[in-house]
Structures are given as structure tokens and as C-alpha cells.
């Protein structure tokens, strides 16, 4: 259940010193608006709520140095404890809260009276209290916690029951409803209405869907001791930061993102922009786009160069003398366009580039909207500093590009299709949740090397020439959504 938020008291809880010794480059999937505070389906029980960060927008990020959110208590006189967890996706495709790693424990607000909402900041940016290294986190069995090809969940664990809604702690959030106001795609009020500010692109995820908006499946919750978590159409008011440079995307549309909503929109609309009025709205939705790199003050006065591709490497490549790694497939036609300068970086190491595709009838709009996935990454350089790559940011312009097939695969039901000699490549976009693997066969005999496609990325897989069958497989027992095409 959710409540109207009440910002009656603003405070700050710093978990460590605030000295800026280590970069805290920000990233979020939130449009800047707050409609409610919520414990989601946890309600009055103890349990978890979380936000998923998919590989397509966090690949290249490992050192978590910052987190900020707003927590509200309906009765400050009774103290309640929460902790922060990093959780993987389990074999069932759902967030594995029980198997998560509690990185910050025993958090409490100061006692008081009445309702209070507090801006909470966790700083992990000093030599004594450094970043949480995600790749080094272990589970209870002392095994690696996270799969680099799958999303991780930033989770709040409410460790005790609450007399909700008169008492209990909750997190501020922005709503992303599954229906537009007044029941139609023609309403521009969808970003003005407090229930629908996030606005994923109006487009059916599956033909049989009753709704006409993409369901992102990023906000989840689960009651302690009850099997099975559930997603909700919302984004928690959460910003995380990393020691590595981050790349943030945003959908630019002043018609839809007008007051009191922020333009450009860095929430769900940033993941699924509408470049060519796919929704056929009464007032055409023709988004433009903006990318912002955050590299930290050490790179102030340097430059950022933005590169694109429609495909990623299975494993990012490292280049001598450059920090980070390159995920973009250098064989992609988009990469061949070359780099786009983002200007001189500001005092905080920030630079941006906007893409304006022109009016509704611009020939660029259907071209860009037809690309199955647009991946972006920034090369950051400054004299006297080691050059570095930013994280990856992936945009999905349309769910079913022309000539593509959409399908679902599970651990028990792989997608299996015949292959001709002329089928030299398979382009596959993995919409998740979870990683998928492309395998080739001659008859029933495996041949060639399996290729893993990370969650929320697209990849052009070179197929073994003599293969007669191709499988798209996953280890998840729940459905993983994909879009694919031979020779795409």
C-alpha cells in the first residue's frame, strides 16, 4: 500500500565522512517527481522492496560509493530498523532477497513525534570507508553473489513488522501506471497527472497484453517468509553513485515533460523513448534524447567523446593505458559513425550531448526508431590523467523492430529454430529478466562456442557456418523475453 508523501521534516543521515576523496558519479532511473511513499506489497509485514539495475545501464560499474533516497516514518516515536542489501536474480528469475548481501545494517531514524521524511545519504568515498565492490560480494556459501550478465537489486529490508499505515517506515516513489488517464493514448496529461509521471512508452509488450504501456519490471517487493516476489509499476526515489564514470540517458520532450515534471525525463521514459510516435497519440509524442557523462572532478576541463553501437561484446575488452573497458561492438554500423564530442567537462567532470531528430516527418525518426537497441558509451580524456571509459547506457527504441520475432524462453523450454547456410548471424536483444545463451547444433550435436547475451542488451552473434539449428536458452525457470532476427 502507498500513502501520499509528507515531507514534514527533512534531515540527512550520513553513514560515513563526506570528504570527496573518491568519485561519486551518479545514476538513477527516476523522473524527479514524487507521488507517494510506500512499502509496496510488504504492507505491515517485515520484508524487502527493491529497484533492479539491469546490465544494459550499469555494465562497467563496480565500485558503489554513494546512495541517496527519502525514507518516511509515519510515527517517529517508535524506532524501526532497516538495512540495505545488494541482491542477485535467483534461478526463478526473481530477486533473491534471502540470498542477498546486507552491505549496511542497523539503520534507524532519530526519535521524534508525528510523521517525518528524511533524505538519507550513504557515502562510501574515503580511504577508511571506501566503495562497496559489487564483483567482490559473496553470498552465504562464500560464492560470488552477482552475475555480471544480469541485473542486481538495490534493496531496502524492513526488518520488523509495522502497524501500517499509521506507523512504519517507507520509501518515496514515482508512479508508472499501466493505463493512461482518461483511458487513451491521446492524453498529454499522462506526464502531468501525479499517477503517471514515469510513463514508459505506450506499446504492447506482448500482443495479448490488456494494457498499452511497457511494463519495466524494475520495482519489486516480497514479504519475509513468503515465497515469490512481485513487481510494481513504479520507480523508487533512489540515486546511486560509483567511483567509475557513469552515463545517464534522458528522454527529451518539452510537450509531455512540462511543469511540474522534469525535462528531460530520466525515469522509465529514458529506457524506452518514443522517437517516432509509436503510440499514435492525439498529440504526437516525438521524443529527442540526451546523454550525460559524470566522470568526477578529477576530469574537470577534460573531454568526453560519445560512441554508439547496436550490439555489444559478450565480454567487454580492455585497452592498455585506458581505465575501464569497452562494451560497444566496434563492428557495428553505429560505431562506424565515429565519436561525438560532449564538450569540455565541467568542474564536476560532467558533459552532455543532445540528439534532436527534427520534426515529426523527419526521415531520421523511423530510421532511429527501427534500430533494435542503441548502446552508448563515453571515452573520457584529460591531459595528465589516465583516460577512461564510462558505463554503458542502452535504449530500446521499439519492442518489435521490423522483421524481428519476439519470443520467450525458460530453462525448460528453449527457443529452437532451424538454420540455413545463408543464416550467418543472429541478432538477439535480451529484454530479461536474466541472461540468455545462444547455442548452435548440427542435428542434435552441439557445435561451436555458446554465446551469452547480457540482460537488456542486444548482440549480433556470428553463427557456426555448418550449424543446422540454433537455440536461445536460459537458466531461469520463469520467462525471459527476447527479440531476434537472422542476419539482422
What domains can you pick out in the chain, each with its CATH number? Answer: 2-176+216-239 (no CATH), 245-395 (2.60.40), 405-486 (2.60.120.10)
| Predicted pLDDT of residue 254 | 85
Q: ω into residue 79 within 30 of 0, thus cis? A: no
For residue 10, pLDDT beyond 50? no
Nearest-angstrom CA–CA distance, 395 and 272: 6
| Predicted pLDDT of residue 177 | 59
Terminus-to-terminus CA distance in the chain, angstroms?
44
Nearest-angstrom CA–CA distance, 6 and 301: 41
Q: ω into residue 264 within 30 of 0, thus cis? A: yes
Question: For the residues 5-27, what does the mean pLDDT come to?
Answer: 58
| Strands, E assignment, 198-302 | 219-223, 230-232, 234-236, 238-242, 246-252, 288-294
The CA dihedral of 476, 237, 374, 57, to the nearest 10 degrees, is -60
Nearest-angstrom CA–CA distance, 487 and 186: 36
Nearest-angstrom CA–CA distance, 25 and 23: 6
Would you say 176 and 216 are in contact if contact means Cβ atoms under 8 Å apart? yes
Reported as a pLDDT band with limits 50, 70 and 90, residue 2 is low
pLDDT per residue as tens digits for the range 402-452: 999 999 999 999 999 999 999 999 999 999 999 999 999 999 999 999 999
Nearest-angstrom CA–CA distance, 90 and 48: 15
| Predicted pLDDT of residue 234 | 84
| Strands, E assignment, 125-256 | 132-133, 152-158, 169-175, 219-223, 230-232, 234-236, 238-242, 246-252
* Positive/negative CA dihedral, 334, 335, 341, 347: positive
Would you say 434 and 477 are in contact if contact means Cβ atoms under 8 Å apart? no
pLDDT per residue as tens digits for the range 266-296: 998 899 999 998 877 667 789 999 999 999 9
Grid cell locating 470: 540454433
Q: List % helix, strand, coil for the chain (3-state, nearest 5).
A: 5, 40, 55
| Predicted pLDDT of residue 193 | 45
What percent of the chain shows pLDDT beyond 90?
A: 76
Amino acid at each position: 500500500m502507498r500513502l501520499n508523501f509528507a515531507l514534514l521534516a527533512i534531515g540527512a543521515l550520513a553513514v560515513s565522512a563526506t570528504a570527496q576523496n573518491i568519485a561519486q558519479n551518479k545514476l538513477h532511473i527516476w523522473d524527479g517527481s514524487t507521488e507517494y511513499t510506500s512499502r509496496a506489497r510488504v504492507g505491515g509485514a517485515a520484508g524487502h522492496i527493491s529497484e533492479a539495475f539491469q546490465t544494459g545501464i550499469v555494465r562497467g560499474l563496480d565500485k558503489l560509493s554513494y546512495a541517496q533516497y527519502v525514507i518516511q516514518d509515519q510515527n517517529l516515536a517508535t524506532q524501526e530498523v532497516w538495512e540495505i542489501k545488494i541482491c542477485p536474480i535467483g534461478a526463478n528469475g526473481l530477486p533473491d532477497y534471502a540470498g542477498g548481501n546486507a552491505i549496511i545494517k542497523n539503520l534507524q531514524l532519530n526519535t521524534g513525534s508525528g510523521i517525518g521524511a528524511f533524505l538519507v545519504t550513504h557515502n562510501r568515498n574515503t580511504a577508511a570507508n571506501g566503495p562497496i565492490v559489487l564483483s567482490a560480494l559473496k553470498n552465504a556459501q562464500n560464492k560470488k553473489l552477482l552475475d555480471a550478465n544480469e541485473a542486481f537489486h538495490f534493496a531496502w529490508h524492513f526488518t520488523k513488522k509495522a502497524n501500517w499505515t499509521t506507523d512504519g517506515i517507507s520509501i518515496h516513489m514515482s508512479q508508472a501506471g499501466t493505463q493512461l488517464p482518461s483511458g487513451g493514448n491521446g492524453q498529454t496529461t499522462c506526464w502531468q497527472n501525479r499517477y503517471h509521471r514515469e510513463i514508459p512508452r505506450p506499446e504492447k509488450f506482448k500482443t495479448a497484453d490488456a494494457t498499452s504501456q511497457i511494463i519495466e519490471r524494475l520495482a519489486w517487493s516480497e514479504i519475509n517468509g513468503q515465497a515469490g516476489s512481485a513487481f510494481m509499476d513504479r520507480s523508487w526515489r533512489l540515486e546511486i553513485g560509483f567511483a567509475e564514470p557513469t552515463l545517464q540517458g534522458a528522454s527529451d520532450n518539452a510537450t509531455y515533460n512540462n511543469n511540474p515534471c522534469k525535462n528531460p525525463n530520466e525515469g522509465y521514459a529514458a529506457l524506452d523513448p518514443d522517437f517516432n510516435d509509436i503510440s499514435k497519440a492525439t498529440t504526437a509524442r516525438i521524443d529527442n534524447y540526451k546523454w550525460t557523462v559524470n566522470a568526477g572532478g578529477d576530469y574537470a576541463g577534460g573531454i568526453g567523446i560519445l560512441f554508439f553501437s547496436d550490439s555489444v561484446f559478450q565480454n567487454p575488452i580492455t585497452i592498455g593505458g585506458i581505465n575501464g573497458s569497452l562494451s560497444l561492438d566496434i563492428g557495428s554500423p553505429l560505431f562506424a559513425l565515429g565519436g561525438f564530442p560532449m564538450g569540455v567537462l565541467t568542474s564536476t567532470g560532467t558533459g552532455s550531448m543532445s540528439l534532436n531528430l527534427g520534426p515529426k516527418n523527419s526521415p531520421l525518426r523511423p530510421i532511429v526508431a527501427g534500430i533494435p537497441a542503441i548502446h552508448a558509451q563515453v571515452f573520457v580524456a584529460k591531459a595528465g590523467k589516465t583516460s577512461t571509459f564510462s558505463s554503458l547506457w542502452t535504449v530500446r527504441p521499439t519492442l518489435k523492430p521490423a522483421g524481428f520475432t519476439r519470443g520467450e524462453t525458460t530453462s525448460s523450454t528453449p527457443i529452437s529454430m532451424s538454420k540455413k547456410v545463408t543464416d550467418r548471424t543472429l541478432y538477439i536483444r535480451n529484454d530479461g529478466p536474466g541472461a540468455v545463451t545462444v547455442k548452435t547444433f548440427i542435428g542434435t550435436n552441439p557445435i561451436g562456442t555458446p554465446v551469452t547475451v547480457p540482460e537488456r542488451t542486444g548482440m549480433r552473434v556470428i553463427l557456426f557456418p555448418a550449424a543446422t539449428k540454433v537455440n536461445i536458452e536460459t537458466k531461469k525457470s520463469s520467462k525471459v523475453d527476447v527479440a531476434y532476427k537472422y542476419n539482422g
